[in-house]
Structure 1
Amino acid sequence: MTTNMSAPTIILIAGHWLGAWAWDEVLEHLDNGHTRATAMTLPGLDGDDPERTTRTLDDQSAAVVDLLTRLGVSEDHPATIVAHSGANGPVSLVLDRHPELVHRVVWVDSGPVAAGGAFAPDLPAGVEELPLPPFEVLGQQASLEGLSAEVLERFRSRAVPEPGTVLRQSVELTDEARREVSTTLVCCSIPGAQVLELARAGHPMFAEVAHLRHLDVVDLPTGHWPMWSRPGDLAQIIQAAAGGSAPAASA
């Protein structure tokens, strides 16, 4: 990774069951001569952590802020945060608590969580973790389009069960400045026009999008895991967003 502090800093955070490894192909496509890109594993998704089932959204958001600090991110040199899917919980907390540290947030087939939102509020308290479901079940919840048998096998072998505490915890937000942070929605399994329509209609999953002040919407038609199905195209969108240019839609 380059030490050029003038290059945009990019933090890549994958969703449920995934660690930093999920971004390997995207990192290969990012121009490290002009960006400082780092992928991270959220607390609770490190299979070697003996306390991982008790990790919380607060632990995860604190880890993101700690990484930003270690990378020298500041109000004068804010970072671009790329959040895929279920990483939206901790990243929404980071935006609320430290909006000055974020140049732009790129939501990958995801979006900001509304105040009080939780991924699975009705998950019984006795459930410590949620393993990766069988793919026939997962495919009914999120599109697996574009994923080869080899990719699915890697997903299965490397996935770490999601902590129940993370899934149940609600996101408490208080700072309206989070809505001022420049935002790119990368829409993969649902077209951008439909996402905006659902946001305007107040759909719980997308309602917060309607309140964003500076929003770009990019369609990247594929399944829910574009870091594997279209890594090169996703890298181009991320790099354009981090550099301040308008991300191009992809066919």
Structure 2
Amino acid sequence: MTPMTSSPTILLIAGHWLGAWAWADVLDHLSTDHPGAIAMTLPGLNGDDPDRAVRTLDDQAAAILDVLARSGVSEDQPAVIVAHSGANAPVSLVLDQHPALVRRVVWVDSGPMSTGSAFAPNLPEEVKELPLPSFDVLEQQASLDGLSAEVLERFRARAVPEPGPVLRQPVELTNDARHAVPTTLVCCSIPSAQVLDMARAGHPMFTDVAALEHLDVIDLPTGHWPMWSRPRDLAQVIRSAASRAT
């Protein structure tokens, strides 16, 4: 691989309950050499949006494409998309619909979704939104390693309930060209060796990892929210990924 001569747009997208604010520390570390790095809040995760509870994955994918367009991203000037956790659903849609707009995708303790999958397909229709659960419950689902009491307090104070439609909607993917987009898999709460073993074994969470044609794997041992527990190191991983040629 050879370094690219231009600095691409880097778009940071956080997972469930989070907005652009979650990337503040990472952006601070990227600002010196990637001043064009930006973070966005997905539709449904803006607490001031009165209709946020009815936003869908399609709305989120469309918003990502809108941010890319307004940032000057094109097939000639593709972007690096950094997707954390549950942002994998709308980003998988973007990769399926417009793979040529993405120079590289960086999955942060996450990975591409497979067609037909959904985060919570059995969530009852009457559940309009899913608030951030207690940390006792959350840590049974995702590692909180490296998060101080202060960080957890901020997480609780700023978290926005996840819209029910986003959690229930299956991701429908039809374009195999998404597998050719260069990919960096940042493994935090699950070691890369285990992730790759599960991908080869056909684990439903990692089915599409096995189909990726250009894959770099990075271990960044910490909890599920490395933008808070290891922001400097995560910024370096993103910086390195952005500098790589396609």
Q: Quick check: TM above 0.5?
A: yes
Extract unaligned runs of 5+ from structure 1: 247-251
On the 8 A contact 1:10/1:35 being kept in 2, the answer is no
Cα distance in 1 between the residues matched to 2:49 and 2:32: 30
Tell me the equivalent position of 2:188. Answer: 188
On the 8 A contact 1:81/1:106 being kept in 2, the answer is yes
Instruction: Report how far residue 8 of structure 1 moved.
Output: 1.5
RMSD value over aligned CA atoms?
1.3
On the 8 A contact 2:180/2:214 being kept in 1, the answer is yes
TM-score normalised by structure 1 residue count: 0.95
**Structure 1 position 139 matched with structure 2 position 139:** yes
Amino acid in structure 2 at the alignment position of 1:241? A
Amino acid in structure 1 at the alignment position of 2:17? W
Tell me the equivalent position of 1:249. Answer: none
Tell me the equivalent position of 1:92. Answer: 92
Amino acid in structure 2 at the alignment position of 1:153? E
Tell me the equivalent position of 2:214. Answer: 214
1:18-167 alignment runs, 5 A limit: 18-167=18-167
Instruction: Report how far residue 222 of structure 1 moved.
Output: 0.1
On the 8 A contact 2:61/2:90 being kept in 1, the answer is yes
TM-score normalised by structure 2 residue count: 0.96
Q: Deviations over 1:60-92 (max 9, x none)?
A: 000000000000001111000000000000000
How many residue pairs end up in the alignment? 242
> Match of 1:95, SS?
helix
Tell me the equivalent position of 1:172. Answer: 172
On the 8 A contact 2:19/2:46 being kept in 1, the answer is yes
Q: Runs in 1 of length 4+ with deviation above 6 angstroms?
A: none
User: What percentage of residue pairs aligned between the two structures are identical?
Assistant: 74
Cα distance in 2 between the residues matched to 1:223 and 1:42: 22
Tell me the equivalent position of 1:15. Answer: 15
Amino acid in structure 1 at the alignment position of 2:111? G
> Match of 2:208, SS?
helix
Cα distance in 2 between the residues matched to 1:18 and 1:39: 11
> Match of 1:205, SS?
helix
Amino acid in structure 2 at the alignment position of 1:94? V
Extract unaligned runs of 5+ from structure 2: none
- Alignment CA distance shift 1:151-1:175 (3 Å): same
